[in-house]
């Protein structure tokens, strides 16, 4: 019985071991197969499909510039048309159809433009991968934005259904294309690599455009609220336009007063609301208009406070160098007063610090060089100190040595009529004239020249 039990136990033990081994082998096979699938998928992802171009292609960049112009146009024109103008077969109608066609072409072209992979810092040219990413992101928005809602509105004709204000809500779906305005940020990233940009001035322009566009959108929405309610009592009907007050008539206010006059009045109201002035000559009448005005005042007050604070901070940052100079001069004046220094010395000290303000920010430049990679740091230092290659001593030196010595160059500033050194002084360093003129033994040395080159050749100080 023991042997049988033992054998049974042994058989059971081996059976379990065999089962565990089989499970382990199957798990290993599954892991290998999954890794193989991922490897194949990754290799397929980085396979280059024919006809796919990089976003840096010149034609692609020009096309994106054209699309950016169209986005800026619809950001201004579409809310204006929806709020104050009735669709008709005019120039703007056909131009809108051209925009829809351009957006359709742009939607198709997105399948032929490579995507940037942030994990590998490379472009992916696989069309299948590009299509998957596009379908999961902007495809639905782009598809909705190319629908010609104006044509559908006019195609209904003059039936009673064509007068429903709800149709204008469908026209607002064209604004979904504005979500793609973030492409301007990507274009700007490439532009700032080529051109020198004053970021403080750019920020001021951005806030100015934000304030103008916000007032424009508030005005257009104010007109849309009036049309959606279609009431005989509204802000349009109670506002005086010259000598005309529309009043509670059955006609559309846009048929009595021009749409441009209505828009200017709404823009006048939105500007007052944002700036928290409020003259009270244009007031909401219906419940819907009052609810909208409450929201507009709250959002406008926040926008106004944010812009004022941001602009003040930008102006203070823009004059940071001048502010620091004024602080230094204030400390200098206190120093001169406390020590009762003579007048001629006070003038020289003020001239020195004022001249120092006009110089370069040497410490800032050194910090920038420290943050660069070794290759970029070497190229910059060589370009900044080309004078070293012109000296006979450095002409045949290895480039790493020249770069290392260039990093040891320190900037010093001297006011006019000051002596760098005199006869009998111990000189242990060479001077490079970056800006200005130096007189040595009656001879003038201009910018780019050196003084005391012999310090490089001698092991002892020069007198």
SS3 320: helix
- 82 close to 172: Cβ distance less than 8 angstroms: yes
Q: What pLDDT is stored for residue 263 in this prediction?
A: 92
**Phi-psi domain of 278 (left: phi exceeds 0; alpha: psi -120 through 50; beta: other):** left
Tell me what percent of the residues of the chain surpass a pLDDT of 90.
6
Question: The tokens of 411 are what?
Answer: 């900037």
**Mean pLDDT confidence for 209-234:** 87
- 103 close to 177: Cβ distance less than 8 angstroms: yes
**Mean pLDDT confidence for 342-352:** 85
**Mean pLDDT confidence for 83-92:** 81
In 3D space, the residue among 420, 444, 431, 428 whose CA is nearest the CA of residue 387 turns out to be: 431
SS3 100: helix
Is pLDDT larger for residue 155 or for residue 145? 145
Q: What is the pTM of this model?
A: 0.65
Question: Taking all residues of the chain, what is their mean pLDDT, rounded to a whole number?
Answer: 76
In 3D space, the residue among 206, 60, 55 whose CA is nearest the CA of residue 123 turns out to be: 55
- 101 close to 95: Cβ distance less than 8 angstroms: no
**Phi-psi domain of 398 (left: phi exceeds 0; alpha: psi -120 through 50; beta: other):** beta
User: How far apart are alpha carbons 132 and 274 in whole angstroms?
Assistant: 43
Tell me what percent of the residues of the chain surpass a pLDDT of 70.
76
Is pLDDT larger for residue 8 or for residue 37? 37
Is pLDDT larger for residue 243 or for residue 111? 111
- 79 close to 221: Cβ distance less than 8 angstroms: yes
- 430 close to 410: Cβ distance less than 8 angstroms: no
- 328 close to 349: Cβ distance less than 8 angstroms: no
In 3D space, the residue among 23, 104, 89, 83 whose CA is nearest the CA of residue 220 turns out to be: 83
**Phi-psi domain of 143 (left: phi exceeds 0; alpha: psi -120 through 50; beta: other):** alpha
User: How far apart are alpha carbons 205 and 311 in whole angstroms?
Assistant: 10
Assign 3-state DSSP to the chain and report helix, strand, coil percentages, each to 5.
65, 5, 30
Q: How many CA atoms lie within 13 A of 294 on its CB side?
A: 7
**Mean pLDDT confidence for 368-394:** 75
Question: The tokens of 228 are what?
Answer: 């959606």
Task: Read off the pLDDT of residues 159-215 as tens digits, 9 standing for 90 and up.
Answer: 444 445 455 566 666 666 667 666 666 666 666 655 667 777 778 888 888 899 999
Q: What pLDDT is stored for residue 212 in this prediction?
A: 92
User: How far apart are alpha carbons 438 and 17 in whole angstroms?
Assistant: 92
443-445 and 431-432 as β-strands: parallel, antiparallel, unpaired?
A: unpaired
Q: What pLDDT is stored for residue 203 in this prediction?
A: 80
Beta-carbon neighbour count of residue 364 at 10 Å? 9
User: How far apart are alpha carbons 409 and 388 in whole angstroms?
Assistant: 11
Polymer length in residues for the chain = 463
User: How far apart are alpha carbons 314 and 125 in whole angstroms?
Assistant: 41
User: How far apart are alpha carbons 272 and 279 in whole angstroms?
Assistant: 7
- What are the backbone angles phi and psi of residue 440, rounded to the nearest 5°? -125, 115
SS3 146: coil
Say if residue 20's pLDDT is above 60: no
Q: How many CA atoms lie within 13 A of 78 on its CB side?
A: 25
Run of H or E including 451: strand 450-451
Task: Name all domains of the chain by residue range, CATH numbers in brackets.
Answer: 45-195 (no CATH), 196-322 (1.10.287.70), 341-416 (no CATH), 419-462 (no CATH)
Q: Considering only CA atoms, give the Rg of the chain.
A: 37
Q: What pLDDT is stored for residue 18 in this prediction?
A: 44
Task: Read off the pLDDT of residues 287-317 as tens digits, 9 standing for 90 and up.
Answer: 989 999 999 999 988 988 888 888 888 877 7
- 365 close to 357: Cβ distance less than 8 angstroms: no
């Amino acid at each position: 019985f023991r042997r049988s039990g033992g054998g049974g136990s042994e058989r059971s033990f081996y059976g379990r071991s065999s089962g565990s081994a089989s499970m382990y082998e199957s798990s290993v096979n599954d892991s290998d197969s999954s890794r193989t699938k991922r490897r194949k998928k990754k290799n397929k992802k980085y396979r280059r499909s024919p006809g796919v171009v990089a976003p840096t292609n010149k034609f692609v960049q020009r096309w994106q510039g054209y699309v950016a112009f169209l986005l800026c146009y619809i950001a201004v024109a579409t809310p204006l048309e929806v709020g104050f103008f009735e669709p008709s077969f005019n120039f703007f109608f056909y131009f809108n159809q051209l925009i829809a066609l351009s957006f359709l072409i742009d939607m198709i072209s997105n399948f032929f433009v490579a995507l940037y992979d942030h994990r590998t810092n490379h472009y992916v040219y696989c069309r299948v991968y590009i299509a998957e990413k596009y379908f999961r992101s902007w495809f639905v928005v782009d598809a909705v934005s190319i629908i010609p809602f104006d044509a559908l509105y006019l195609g209904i004709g003059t039936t009673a259904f064509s007068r429903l204000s709800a149709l204008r809500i469908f026209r607002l779906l064209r604004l979904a294309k504005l979500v793609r305005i973030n492409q301007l940020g990507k274009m700007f990233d490439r532009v700032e690599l080529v051109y020198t940009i004053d970021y403080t001035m750019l920020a001021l322009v951005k806030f100015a455009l934000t304030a103008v566009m916000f007032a424009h959108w508030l005005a257009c929405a104010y007109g849309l609220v009036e049309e959606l309610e279609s009431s005989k009592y509204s802000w349009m009907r109670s506002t005086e336009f010259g000598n005309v007050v529309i009043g509670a008539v059955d006609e559309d206010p846009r048929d009595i007063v021009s749409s441009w006059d209505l828009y200017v009045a709404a823009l006048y109201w939105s500007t007052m609301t944002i700036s928290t002035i409020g003259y009270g000559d244009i007031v909401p009448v219906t419940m819907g208009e009052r609810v909208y005005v409450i929201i507009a005042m709250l959002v406008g007050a926040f926008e106004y406070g944010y812009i004022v604070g941001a602009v003040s901070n930008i102006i203070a940052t823009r004059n940071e160098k001048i502010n620091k100079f004024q602080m230094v001069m204030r400390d200098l004046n206190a120093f001169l007063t406390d020590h009762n220094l003579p007048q001629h010395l006070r003038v020289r000290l003020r001239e020195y610090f004022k001249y120092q303000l006009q110089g370069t920010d040497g410490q800032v430049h050194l910090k920038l060089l420290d943050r660069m990679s070794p290759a970029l740091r070497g190229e910059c230092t060589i370009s900044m100190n080309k004078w070293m290659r012109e000296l006979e001593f450095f002409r045949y030196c290895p480039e790493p040595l020249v770069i290392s010595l260039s990093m040891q160059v320190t900037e010093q500033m001297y006011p006019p009529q000051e002596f760098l050194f005199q006869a009998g002084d111990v000189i242990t360093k060479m001077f490079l004239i970056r800006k200005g003129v130096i007189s040595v033994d009656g001879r003038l040395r201009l910018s780019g020249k050196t003084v005391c080159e012999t310090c490089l050749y001698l092991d002892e100080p020069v007198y």
